[in-house]
């Protein structure tokens, strides 16, 4: 059984994290390979909770809805790959890449780690739905102003970073309707990946 690589894209509130968890459970049952999950959002939250100086600086910028510096996100991401990734483990990422520059970095990393088939899962929801869902989550960075900034950031940077992979050999983009129940979103993912 070949280890797979999945890169999740979607606005904050699209349910990326939930779908990654569903897919990890599914893959473990299906082929019992270990999974490495890199969520830059989770890694940044850990950094904030650590109470370090870097964590304090990250918290400030997250509250303002600003993207974190590229070097920091790249470092956090690659550190997890270096410490955890092996050829027989599935890789699932969410929250990275978020800029075209990061997409170029990811492409380099995938070549280095000999990952030649990358499945990109884009969970698409409307801006209106994203705002509605995020205001219900009540996280400290989910203010109306913060959300508007994140949506703008997503459209200006993240979508181009995903589109960077269009027509790239070994990269396939699957667009999923995120405005259905969590279970139906997952069914669509499984179906489009050809697992059902």
| Exposure string over 96-117, b if 16+ CB within 10 A, otherwise e | bbbbeebbebbbebbeeeebee
User: pLDDT (tens digit, 0 to 9) for every residue of the chain, 196 residues total?
Assistant: 689 999 999 998 999 999 999 999 999 999 889 999 999 989 999 999 999 999 999 999 887 767 788 999 999 999 999 999 999 999 999 999 999 999 999 999 999 999 999 999 999 999 999 988 888 876 666 677 878 888 998 999 999 999 999 999 999 999 999 999 999 999 999 999 999 7
Single pTM value for the model: 0.91
The pLDDT value given to residue 103 = 97
The pLDDT value given to residue 143 = 78
Both tokens of 162, joined, read: 């995903």
- Gap between the Cα atoms of 97 and 122, Å rounded: 12
């Amino acid at each position: 059984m070949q280890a797979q690589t999945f890169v999740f894209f979607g606005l904050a509130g699209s349910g990326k994290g939930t779908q990654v968890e569903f897919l990890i459970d599914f893959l473990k049952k299906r082929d019992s390979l270990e999974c490495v999950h890199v969520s830059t959002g989770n890694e940044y939250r850990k950094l904030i909770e650590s109470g370090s100086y870097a964590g304090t600086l990250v918290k400030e910028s997250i509250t303002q809805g600003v993207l974190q510096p590229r070097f920091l996100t790249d470092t956090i991401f690659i550190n997890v790959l270096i410490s955890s990734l092996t050829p027989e483990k599935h890789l699932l990422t969410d929250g990275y890449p978020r800029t075209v520059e990061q997409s170029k970095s990811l492409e380099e990393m995938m070549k280095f780690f000999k990952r030649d088939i990358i499945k990109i899962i884009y969970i698409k929801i409307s801006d209106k739905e994203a705002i509605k869902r995020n205001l219900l989550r009540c996280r400290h960075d989910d203010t109306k102003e913060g959300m508007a900034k994140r949506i703008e950031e997503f459209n200006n940077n993240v979508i181009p970073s995903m589109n960077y992979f269009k027509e790239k050999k070994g990269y396939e983009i699957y667009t999923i309707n995120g405005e259905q129940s969590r279970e139906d979103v997952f069914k669509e993912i499984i179906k489009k990946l050809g697992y059902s």
